[in-house]
Structure 1
Amino acid sequence: MVAKWIETFTGSLEQKKQYKQSLARLKELPQPYAKAAAGLQRYLMNQSGITDAETMISMYADLADLFEGAAANSTSLRELLGDDPAEFADDFAQAYGGKRWTDKERARLAQAISEAENETKEQ
C-alpha cells in the first residue's frame, strides 16, 4: 500500500528500475562504445523532447541493445552512427512515439494563429 502511495508522487518504481538498468548497461560497455553511448544518451535526454517515461525507458533499452550488439560485432562507431551522430540521434528518437514537450507548444501556436485569423475576419 505504501508503494502505491509513493508511486503516485514519484512515478513507477519499476520504471525507475528499468531506466537505471538501461543506463548501467550503457556504462558497462567497452570503450569507445561506453563513451559514445553516454554522449548519445545525454543528447537524447536533452534534445528528444520525450516526456513519456515508458517511451524513454523503451528507447534507452533499445539503445543499450544496439550498442551491445555493435560492441559484440566490433562495428565501428562511424559504421553504427554514420557521419553525423546528431542526425542519427534525431532519427533514432523520431522512431519512438510518445508525448514530447513540444506537442503542447505546437498546439498553443496553432490555437494562437487560429484565434488571430478569427479576430481578423470579425473586423
Structure 2
Amino acid sequence: MDISKFTAKVIGDLGDKRRWRQYKERARRLPVNYRTAIDAFERYLMVYGPGGSVAMFEDLADLFEQSAADRTPIREVVGDDPVEFIETFARNYQEDAWVNRERKRLVDAIERAMGDDTGS
C-alpha cells in the first residue's frame, strides 16, 4: 500500500471516529426520553441490524433533535412499530453495505451458473 492510500485510510478512520464522538455527544444532550429512544435504536442497529454508517446515526440524531425541539412525541416520530421504523430508516443507508454487495455477488454467480447450465 502506498503512503497516500495509507494516509487516506488513517485520516478517514480518524474522521469517522471524530464524527462518531460528535454523534454520541449530540445524543447525550437530548432530553431523557429522546435519548432513551435513540440509544435503543442505536443498540438495535448494532446488535440486530446492519450496523450502520456514521452518516445514518448523524441523521437519526438530526431527526431526534428536531423532534425534541418541536416537542413532537416519540410515538409520532416512530409510529406504532419501532422495529419497522428503524429497519425502514436503515434501509436507506444499506446500498454500500457489505451484505448487499455479497447478495449481489451471489445473485450474479447463480445467474452465470444458470447461463452455463446445459440441462445435462
* TM-score, normalised with respect to structure 1: 0.75
Distance 1:48 1:23, change over 3 A: same
Q: Which range moved further: 76-85 or 98-107?
A: 98-107
Q: Which residue is 2:50 aligned to?
A: 48
> Secondary structure, in 3 states, of the residue corresponding to 1:83?
coil
Alignment-derived partner of residue 19 in structure 1: 20
Structure 1 SS opposite 2:72: coil
Q: Using the aligned pairs only, state the percent identity.
A: 39
Give the unaligned 5+ runs of structure 1. 51-55
- CA distance in 2 between partners of 1:106 and 1:48 (Å): 14
Which residue of structure 2 lines up, in the alignment, with residue 67 of structure 1? 64
Q: Could you tell me which of 88, 98, 103 is aligned with 2:100?
A: 103
Q: Does the CA-based 8 Å contact 2:41-2:86 persist in structure 1?
A: yes
Cα distance, 1:118 vs. partner? 4.4
In the TM superposition, 1:58-97 aligns within 5 A as: 58-96=55-93
- Measured at CA, do residues 68 and 96 of structure 1 come closer, stay the same or move farther in structure 2, by a change above 3 Å? same
Question: For the residues of structure 2 that align with 1:41 and 1:22, how far apart are their CA atoms?
Answer: 11
Q: CA deviation at 1:79?
A: 0.5
Answer yes or no: is the 8 Å Cα contact 2:30–2:65 preserved in 1: yes
Q: Structure 2 length as normaliser, TM-score? A: 0.77
CA deviation digits over 1:19-65, x for unaligned, max 9?
11012211221111111000111222341354xxxxx1221111111
For residues 116 and 96 of structure 1, the distance between their equivalents in structure 2, rounded to whole angstroms, comes to 30
Structure 2 residues not aligned, in runs of 5+: none
Q: In 1, are the aligned partners of 2:19 and 2:54 still within 8 Å (CA)?
A: yes
Q: Secondary structure at the match of 2:93?
A: coil
- Please report the RMSD computed on the Cα atoms of aligned residues, expressed in angstroms: 2.5
Structure-2 residue corresponding to 1:53: none
Alignment-mate amino acid for residue 121 of structure 1: T
- Distance between the aligned counterparts of 2:110 and 2:62, measured in 1? 43
